[in-house]
Amino acid sequence: MKKINKICCIGAGYVGGPTMSVIAHKCPEIKVTVVDINANRIKAWNDENLDKLPVYEPGLKEIIAETRNKNLFFSTEVDKAIDEAEMIFISVNTPTKTYGKGKGQAADLKFIELCARNIAKVAKDDKIVVEKSTLPVRTAQAIKNILDNTGNHVNFEILSNPEFLAEGTAINDLLHADRVLIGGDETPEGEAAKEALSAIYEHWLPKENILKTNIWSSELSKLVANAFLAQRISSINSISALCEKTDANVQEVSKAIGLDSRIGSKFLNASVGFGGSCFQKDILNLVYIAKSYGLQEVADYWEQVIIMNDYQKSRFANNIISTLYNTVSGKKIVFYGWAFKKDTNDTRESAAIYVADALLEEQAEIVIYDPKVSEERIYADLDYLNTRSEEENRKLVTVVKDPIDASKDAHAIAVLTEWDEFKAYNWETIFKQMLKPAFVFDGRRILDKEKINSIGFNYYRIGENA
C-alpha cells in the first residue's frame, strides 16, 4: 500500500479548513497544504490573530496554533500544491444552481469541474483524488472522464469520502466520527487507494468505524444522510404547528417519541426551521436526481421536507405579525441570533434571513445582534435575496454589538439562534427597557418559560400554545 506523505486540499472553507487541521494534528508526518483561489480567505487562515480565522469552530484555533506552518499550510499556490501531493482532496463548494438546466435544484458542479481540469493540467505523477465535497451520485464518472483524457499517462484513482461533520461541533465530530465512509472502485488499484486513505483516519479512529463501499453508494449515502436528518426536523416542526392548536407541548411529544429506541432522541428539537449550507441544497439535489431518473413520486416525497421547512419559517414570521396586532410597520423588533445554529459564524440559509425578510416586507424596523456574525455578512445575506434595495435594507436594519442596549424601546424580541449566552441575559433589565406590552418570540425554545412570564413578558415559543 502506498504511504501518503503529502496531501493537498482544494477549498479552504468550513470543511477543508477544519478537516485538514485535524488530519495535520493527528498525522504529524504528513505535510498538508490547503489551497484556495480566494486570497482573502487564505490570508485570514494565515492571520497571526487566531480570532480572525475565517471559520469559527470551538477548538479549531488551538489546533491551528499547534500545526500551522509545521505540517499544515494555507496557500493560494494551487498548482504547486497539486503537483507535490500524492493525495488531493476536493473540498470546494457545490451550491444549488442559480441558472440554466436544473436551476434552483441541481448542484452546480462548475467548481468541481475546474478542480478536475486543474489536476489534469498539473499532475505529472499518479494521484489519488478524493471527493470530499458533497456531490450528486455518479459525479465520480465525470471527474474520471476529465482526468483520464489528459494524454500524459498519469493514473488517477478517484475516491468518494463525504464529510459528516456538523458546524459548531466540527472538531469534536472529526475527532470522534461515528463513521468514515470511503467509496472507490472495486479493482485492486481502487482497493489500494481506499486502504491508503483509511490509513490516514486510522491514526485516530478505530478501523471498524471506517466503512468501505462502492463509489456510487458512498456518493449517494451523503445526500441520503442529510435528507434523513432534515426529514426528522421537518417532521417534528410539522407537529409543532399541531401542538400550538391543540395544547399539546412539542417538547413533551419529542421526549415521548424519542424514548422509543427505534426512533431515538436526537434531531427532534422543534425550531424556527433548519438552515445551513447543506440540508436544503442536498435535498433539492436529491429531488433533482430522482426526477432526472423519472422517479417523480420519490422527488415529491423528499421535496415535502423543504416545503415544510419553508412553512415553518413563514409561520414564525406570521405569528409575530398577527400577535403584534397585525401590523409591525415601524415597530422595533430585536433579533437575538443570525447564524443558522449556535457556535458558528456561518449564516448560509439561516432561518433568520427569511424571517427578517418577511418582517421587512411589512416595514418592521429590525435590530440584529449575533455574537459571531459581522454586520457586513448580515447585510450581504439580505441584499442577496434581492427583495428590496441595499439602501432600504440599511435603512430598516441595524446591526448592534450590545444586545441589552438593543432592547430599548423595542416592541418584541425574537430568538432566532440558540446561543447559550441568550439564556444568561438579565431579562428583567431587557423588560424594563422595552415598550409594553413586551413580547418575546422564541424560535429555539431556549428560554425559561416560567421566569420570562413571571417578569411580565408575553412569551411565545414554537410548538406550544401561549
Residue 164 touching ligand UDX (CB under 6 A)? yes
Residue 243 known to be catalytic = no
| Residue 10 interacting with ligand NAD (CB under 6 A) | yes
Interface with ligand NAD includes 174 (CB under 6 A)? no
Pick what 226 binds: ligand NAD, ligand UDX, none; C-beta below 5 to 8 Å, kind-dependent.
ligand UDX
| Amino acid at site 26 | K
Contact segment (CB under 6 A) with ligand UDX among 77-85, 101-109, 163-171, 422-430 equals 163-171
- Among 251, 227, 224, smallest CA distance to 237 is for 251
Give the residue with the Cβ less far from ligand UDX, 204 or 267: 267
Residues 6+ apart with CB under 8 A from 97: 103, 104, 105, 106, 107, 108
- Residues 338-367, one symbol each (x = binds ligand UDX by CB under 6 A, - = not), give --xx--------------------------
Q: Which stretch binds ligand NAD (CB under 6 A): 162-170, 244-252, 372-380, 450-458?
A: 162-170
Please provide the size of the chain in residues.
Answer: 466
Nearer to ligand NAD, 159 or 414 (CB): 159
Cβ distance to ligand UDX smaller for residue 102 or 443: 443
In degrees, rounded to 5, the angle at the alpha carbon of residue 339 between the alpha carbons of residues 334 and 344 is: 140
- Residue 37 sits in the site that holds ligand UDX (CB under 6 A): no
DSSP 110-168: HHHHHHHHHHHHH--S-EEEEE-S---TTHHHHHHHHHTTSSS---EEEEE------TT
User: Which is closer to ligand UDX, CB of 16 or CB of 190?
Assistant: 16
184 touches, from ligand NAD, ligand UDX, none (C-beta below 5 to 8 Å by class): none
Tell whether residue 306 is a contact of ligand NAD (CB under 6 A): no
DSSP 406: G
163 binds ligand UDX (CB under 6 A): yes
Helix, strand or coil for residue 336?
strand
Rounded least distance, CB 387 to ligand UDX, Å: 21
**DSSP of 1-44, one letter per residue?**
-PPP-EEEEE--STTHHHHHHHHHHH-TTSEEEEE-S-HHHHHH
Kindly state the smallest distance separating residue 261's Cβ from ligand UDX, in Å: 18
Q: Please say which residue, 219 or 442, places its beta carbon nearer to ligand NAD.
A: 219
* 55 vs 247: CA distance, rounded Å: 41
224 binds, among ligand NAD, ligand UDX, none (CB under 5 to 8 A by kind): none
What is the distance between the alpha carbons of residues 88 and 339, in angstroms, rounded to a whole number?
Answer: 31
15 binds, among ligand NAD, ligand UDX, none (CB under 5 to 8 A by kind): ligand NAD
Q: Does 267 bind ligand NAD (CB under 6 A)?
A: no
Nearest CA-CA partner of 342 in 332, 354, 352:
352
Query: Amino acid identity of 82?
Result: I
Q: Is 187 in the site for ligand NAD (CB under 6 A)?
A: no
Q: Which ranges constitute the DSSP H helices of 324-350?
A: none
**458-461: strand order across its sheet:** 397-399, 365-369, 332-336, 412-415, 439-442, 458-461
For position 223 contacting ligand UDX by CB under 6 A, the verdict is no
Told to check if 12 binds ligand NAD by CB under 6 A, we report yes
Using CB under 6 A as the criterion, what x/- string covers residues 267-296 for binding ligand UDX?
Answer: xxx-x--xxx-xx-----------------
Q: Is there a contact between 340 and 276 (Cβ–Cβ < 8 Å)?
A: yes
Based on CB atoms, which residue is closest to ligand NAD, 251 or 280?
280
The single-letter DSSP state of residue 203 is T
Chain contacts with ligand NAD (rule: CB under 6 A): 10-16, 35-38, 41, 78, 91-94, 111, 114-115, 133-134, 163, 165, 167, 277-278
